[in-house]
Structure 1
Amino acid sequence: MLQSLIREAASRFNLGDNASRFVRLLVDAVFDNDNGGFAGLRKRFEDAGLGDLFASWIGKQPGDNVLQPDQFSAGFGETASHQIAQRLGIAPALVNVAGATLLPKIIGLVTRGGVIPIARPADYESWFTAAPAAAAARDESGGGWWKWLLALIVLGGLLLFLLRGCKHDEAATPPAEPATSTTEPAAPVEQGNASFDFANVDGKVTVAGKLPSEADKTRLWDALTATYGAPNLSGDITVDPNTLPAGWLDKLIAALPDLKDAGLKFGFDGDKLKIDTAGLSDEQRFALSEKLRGLFGGFEISGLWDRAAAALAGLKSGFSGDDLVKALNLMNVYFDTGSNTITRDSLETLTNAANAITQAPSGTRIEVGGHTDNTGDAAANLALSQQRADAVVAKLAELGVGEGILTAKGYGQDKPIADNATEEGKAKNRRIEFSVQQ
């Protein structure tokens, strides 16, 4: 039942002999009664703000990239993923990358027809072994004669070996006592990050990088050639089997046709993305930053150039509190769905904000207001907006903003700035808003 996933774990994620054990541990978690079984796993994803995503896998055949590595860690449990890493002797990051791809498919398989499993099925063990149906059918129909012939050949060879051995028994030297091995078990090989660097200078593209397989290299190189043309492409991508899977590869390949601006530079190092758009116009920088942030929202991104970054960088010496909050309110701070957890791609945005706030005139006091759309319960929205405002204040304090400058207040859904009847309006209403306190 799970052989295709085991093969995928072995080949795509270089898990080798650990592939079957890895898939087994993921499936065991679905039926782990000590942690609530399927319902308990689903509840953990709901608590992480990923309940709707988890529900979308039930009775379906999820594809790749429906779950990000950081989301897997949040829903499956960081402790549980680290335990798997320790048991198999692999990097925790590999558990999160492979688990993000395989767990949704496992959920789809164990909930075929939309039926929620409540107990481990009787044929559970057979899920992890290849079914010998075809071989059994041949034996029952009399097609197993060749096995008897093979056995006779082996037996004959064994007898010949023993007869020859008898002739040399008298002269044989007694065998030495076997040496006791003191060799320590080999330590697991440290796996490095997949990487990729890209630079477009006047339409000539230079790349460098490292990927875990020849197949990944071929896919990426073919996509680069198709997008930019062989005469405009140079560089090299190496293959190292001890490299973690590139969680960005599929999305990058799909995005290449939109990444043709001369002057663009960017690079991946594992789940970190660094962007350099300094050679582009402001409008190009805004558009590309927005696109890359949308594609790789779960990554730690540096070099984003949005209107807030431009406004904060443009503040003149001696700026007022009003100038500051006008720039701050151009920011987009993102959170995990239904959660007050700030996404990793918002870190640089808040770092820029913290640097500007620390330069504000003495005595400046700023309120950080949290706002939601009108989806769901009003009281729950109010609580969530307060939690998100608190999270932003805490992060800015962590980034260097002094005590007493910021206060947090949640407004829930009571102060919309757009029509909640549209998704675009709801997106505008879900916001962090800064205001100067007199």
Structure 2
Amino acid sequence: MSAYDRFVEDAAIRLELGHRARWVIDVLQAWIATRPGGLEGLQQQFEDAGLAARFHSWRQPAQVPLPIVASELERALGAPTLAVIAQRSDMSPGAFRVVACQLLPGVVGLMSAAAVSQQAAPAAPPAPGAAFRRMAGVVPSHAMYGMALRSLLWMLAAATVLILTTLLLLKARTPLWTSQALSHDHTSRVVLQQDGMRLQVEGSLPNESDRRRLWSALKAVHGQQNLSGSIALDPRAEPPRWLDRLINDLPHLQGDGLRLEFDGPQLRIVTTGMADAQRLAISHRLRQDFPALQMQGLWGPGLAALARLPASAGSGERVAALNLTRLKFHMGSSELTGDSLETLDAVATALRQAPAGTRVEVAAHTDSHGDAHSNQQLSQQRADAVVKALQERGAPAAMLVPVGYGHDQPVADNRSDAGRAQNRRIAYQLLE
């Protein structure tokens, strides 16, 4: 029994793959052999991932191969590549990662041994009698030339048929070793619903590594006994850019009745059953750490004041409530952050309901970082951006006057971070 057959038999029994063991091993070998650089290219990929010692141990027959875990394998090859090979192996991505960690060291060892054997193989001996014919000066006959020509023609015909057949097969199906980038058809989604001490979890993430990291963090914060639900694997989901920050913020995102729904670029928040101080703290944390997400359900003094405005409220009362709201911009630009969109909706609603003839100055202010001219230009651009956004939401165009004041009107000390944050603001003033 060859080393390859022994390896297949061992995989079939040890990993409980049965007759599928040979297929999975062949898929791995085909992928390695046809990727750019072959075995050497794969070694370079592992070295770039900081896993050089492991790969080198697999190529040394006298050395015990070092083990590898699923997260390391994903770091070296990438989740899309692993998903494609798993599909070719007729296995789920999660199961394939476990199997690949066990098989890849052996497959690399077999291919390394075969490469060494080919390099060490002696050159083929000359055909019997060839040297004698050369020494004797024997000249081939016309019949021999004819036989050689016919053989050459048959070989050319066979090669043509083989090439055409191969091309047809390649067009009919994608070869095993083709690495295709998975299209992202869905968004990653995580929903956390807290009820007392219990936390209900649901959603879907693109890979096992993300799922395990989140679940481990939830256990550390809430305890295994308080968790229920599950997170599904969806290899076609977009990678969640917010996951790392969510894991870091979990200790601060707690409270009876809290519901957070992360869904791709959107975040829906429910805090209505919580105390005002908790609602404010959680909304502040989410606005600070997830500015790129479009948020619904934020709470703060400004939104609360606008929600309490009676329909008969006058212009002065409305402008006073507007000045309790907070709009934010991306650093050094006039682009509003995603967490500001809900506030813009509320401000536009309050302005649409203002008495006829009301005119409001939308004033933008910056901190003192940078020169005066640049800050004045930036503040004007921000005031224009806010007015445009409010008009898109139905606020009357004739009501709003955008003005940029730069850093000339501070309300706090620019020498501290907190002071500069207060000075970066949008203010509203009722015009006569």
| 1:377 corresponds to | 371
Question: Closer, same or farther in 2 for the Cα pair 1:280/1:149, shift >3 Å?
Answer: same
Task: Report whether the alignment pairs 1:147 with 2:135.
Answer: no
2:338 aligned to which of 324, 338, 344: 344
The match for 1:14 among 62, 76, 79 is 79
Structure 2 unaligned runs (5+)? 1-43, 52-71, 85-111, 126-153, 175-179
Provide closer, same or farther for how the CA distance between residues 11 and 295 of structure 1 changes in structure 2, counting only shifts above 3 A: farther
Residues 9, 15 of structure 1: 8 Å contact kept: no
Larger deviation, residues 236-245 vs 428-437: 236-245
1:4 and 2:4 matched: no
1:298-309 alignment to 2 at 5 Å?
298-309=292-303
- Aligned-residue offset at 1:409: 0.7
| Match among 384, 394, 397 for residue 390 of structure 1 | 384
Deviation readout 1:261-284 (Å, 9 max, x if unpaired): 111001111122111111112221
1:341 deviates by 1.1
Of 230, 233, 247, which residue of structure 1 is paired with 2:227?
A: 233
Q: Tell me if the contact between 1:369 and 1:432 (Cα under 8 Å) persists in the aligned partners.
A: yes
Q: 1:394 to 1:146 in 2, by over 3 A?
A: closer
Query: Does residue 1:180 correspond to 2:189, yes or no?
Result: no
Distance 1:187 1:337, change over 3 A: closer
Task: Determine if the alignment matches structure 1 residue 222 to structure 2 residue 287.
Answer: no
* 1:243 CA displacement: 2.0
Structure with bigger gyration radius:
2
Please state how far the C-alpha of 1:190 moved relative to its aligned partner.
Answer: 3.8
**1:201 equivalent in structure 2:** 195
State the secondary structure of the residue aligned to 1:205.
strand
Q: 1:254 aligns with which of 238, 248, 254?
A: 248
Q: Residue 281 of structure 1 aligns to which amino acid in structure 2?
A: A
Per the alignment, residue 399 of structure 1 pairs with: 393
1:13 touches 1:245 (CA, 8 Å); kept in 2?
no
**2:287 matches 1:293:** yes
1:362 aligns with 2:407: no
Letter in 2 for 1:259: L
TM-score, normalised to structure 1's length? 0.62
Residue matched to 2:207: 213
Q: Is the contact between residue 333 and residue 431 of structure 1 (CA under 8 Å) also seen in structure 2? A: yes
SS where residue 358 of structure 2 aligns? coil
Q: Report the counterpart of residue 310 of structure 1 in structure 2.
A: 304
Deviations 1:34-71 (A, max 9, x none): xxxxxxxxxxxxxxxxxxxxxxxxxxxxxxxxxxxxxx
Aligned residues: CA RMSD: 3.5
Q: Deviations along 1:275-307, whole A, 9 cap, x unmatched?
A: 111111222111110011111112111111111
Tell me the TM-score normalized by structure 2.
Answer: 0.63
Find the aligned partners of 2:259 and 2:77 in 1 and give their Cα distance: 28
Task: Report the AA paired with residue 168 of structure 2.
Answer: T
How many Å separate the matches in 2 of 1:235 and 1:17? Answer: 27
Partner in structure 1 of residue 266 of structure 2: 272
CA shift digits 1:326-375 (9 cap, x unpaired): 11111111111111111122111111111111111111111100111222
Whichever residue aligns with residue 361 of structure 1, its letter is: P
Asked if the contact 1:370/1:385 (under 8 Å) is kept, the reply is yes
Q: Does structure 2 conserve the Cα–Cα contact (< 8 Å) formed by 1:10 and 1:17?
A: no
Structure 2: which amino acid aligns with 1:333?
A: L
Aligned residues: 300
> 2: distance between equivalents of 1:329 and 1:353?
10
**Partners of 2:329 and 2:336 within 8 A in 1:** yes
1:194 and 1:145 map into 2 onto residues whose CA distance is 43
CA distance in 2, matches of 1:154, 1:353: 84
* Cα separation, 2, equivalents of 1:228 and 1:281: 20
Question: Distance in 1 between the 2:234 and 2:429 partners?
Answer: 51
Describe the SS at the equivalent of 1:401: coil
Per the alignment, do residues 295 and 153 of structure 1 end up closer, same or farther by CA in structure 2, a change over 3 Å counting? Answer: farther
Identity within the alignment, %: 39
Change (3 A) 1:144 1:353: closer
Cα 1:12/1:222, change in 2 over 3 Å:
farther
Gaps of at least 5 residues in structure 1 are: 20-142, 157-168
Using the TM superposition, name which of 241-250 and 198-207 deviates more: 241-250
Shift of residue 152, structure 1, vs aligned partner: 3.8
Q: Which amino acid aligns with 1:14?
A: A
| CA displacement at 1:238 relative to structure 2 | 0.7
In structure 2, C-alpha distance between the alignment counterparts of 1:407 and 1:416, rounded to whole Å: 20
Aligned to 1:420: 414
Counterparts of 1:119-130 in structure 2, within 5 Å, are: none
**Does the alignment pair 1:284 with 2:278?**
yes
**In 1, distance between residues paired with 2:77 and 2:258?**
30
Shift of 1:154: 12
Give 1:427 deviation, angstroms: 1.2
Give distance in 2, aligned partners of 1:287 and 1:192: 31
- Counterparts of 1:388 and 1:233 in 2: how far apart (Å)? 44
How far does residue 18 in structure 1 lie from its aligned partner after superposition? Answer: 12
- Aligned partner of 1:381: which letter? N
The aligned amino acid for 2:351 is I
In 2, Cα distance between equivalents of 1:373 and 1:310: 27
Whole-Å Cα distance in 2 between the matches of residues 316 and 239 of structure 1?
A: 48
Instruction: Confirm or deny that 1:334 pairs with 2:322.
Output: no
